[in-house]
Amino acid sequence: MSGTWHGLFVSEIIIKRRHNLIVIAGFVNQLHHPTKIYFLKGYTEELLSHLLRRPIRVEVQSVEHHRDVLFKWI
């Protein structure tokens, strides 16, 4: 993920497992064109699904600046 999405994530990468599906989520910078984000999302899903032999879903949300991401630690 860090090589493909180099410098795009403004938050930590969150990995979840729902039954047989692996979900990778995070916040990306809004400065890049949406078609680049869509391409990287599809590329990452296909590559990781092939390598791990299970379905992968990448969920990203865009924010304008890294200060817009608020974490609450409990």
What secondary structure, in 3-state letters, does the chain show?
Answer: CCCCCCCCECCCCEEEEECCEEEEEEEEECCCCHHHHHHHHHHHHHHHHHHHCCCEEEEEEEECCHHHCCCCCC
Domain 14-66 has CATH 3.30.429: yes
What are the pLDDT digits (tens) for 11-43?
888 899 989 999 999 888 888 888 999 999 999
The ranges assigned to domains in the chain are 14-66
At residue 74, the pLDDT reads 66
Pick the range with the lowest mean pLDDT from 25-29, 35-39, 63-67, 68-72: 68-72
